[in-house]
Chain A
Amino acid sequence: QVQLQESGPGLVKSSGTLSLTCAVSGDSISSTHWWTWVRQPPGEGLEWIGEIFHSGRTNYNPSLESRVTISVDTSKNHFSLELKSMTAADTAVYYCARDTFLSYWGRGILVTVSS
């Protein structure tokens, strides 16, 4: 069974950089799937951040593109998210998921930006 698990700090300082990792089990990150990050501010809807293929090809949301980097580590079977210059508006639950249509989701990790 495919499982995804986010990990990283739950608190980031304003203007700092968020670094999250998504560990994949039950599937190879080198398989023919895209690997995705989505976020959800408290009490709000879903926002697509971006995606990566195992080759390293990426697609990003233009609204975040200047601040975001998604990378993949095939040896560890995980992929990562880096978001720079964090502000209060970036406070959200961050999810990792598989495929463009988000067939499997992680449980999510709440990231709060502190001043």
Chain B
Amino acid sequence: DIVMTQSPDSLAVSLGERATINCTSSQSVLYSANNKNYLGWHQQKAGQSPKLLIFWASTRESGVPDRFSGSGSGTDFTLTISSLQAEDVGVYYCQQYYTTPYTFGRGTKLEIK
């Protein structure tokens, strides 16, 4: 199985400041035939189901605010929130869908400082 490692486990950021979450995969999730990274980011707010934010490592899902951005390739990826808003509090998960079984990182809990 591909192991997804997220850091940090938790993060406290002031409103309006930048938040950065990292995700590393134990093997590359870049498919050379189409040059796509099979990596997604999901946000889970308290008591809710997860919500897709980013797929193909950097494509923002429709309706997701542009303060959310994804970057990286191969094995190293980053989710950045450029200016933290109060509604961004929650747990963020990276997920690889390069090969089954698809796997998730353990999650990063984002709070307001």
Contact = CB atoms under 8 A, between A and B. Distances in A.
Contact of B40 (A47, A95, A101): A101
A114 B88 CA distance: 36
Contacts of B55: 101, 103
Pick from B51, B52, B56 the residue with the most CB of A within 10 Å.
Answer: B52
A46 interface: yes
Contacts of A103: 52, 55, 61
A102 B103 contact: no
Nearest to A59: B100
Decide if the interface of chain A is mainly helix, strand, loop or mixed: loop
Contact of A48 (B42, B61, B101): B101
B21 to A, nearest CB: 14
Interface stretch (A7-15, A18-26, A75-83, A105-113): A105-113
B104 A48 contact: yes
B52 A102 contact: yes
Contacts of A46: 42, 50, 93, 95, 104, 107
Interface residues of A, number: 20
B106 interface: yes
B49 A107 contact: yes
Given A102-B40, A103-B55, A103-B61, A48 B103 contact: yes
Contacts of B104: 45-48
8 contacts: A46-B50, A46-B93, A47-B104, A60-B100, A101-B56, A102-B50, A102-B95, A107-B49
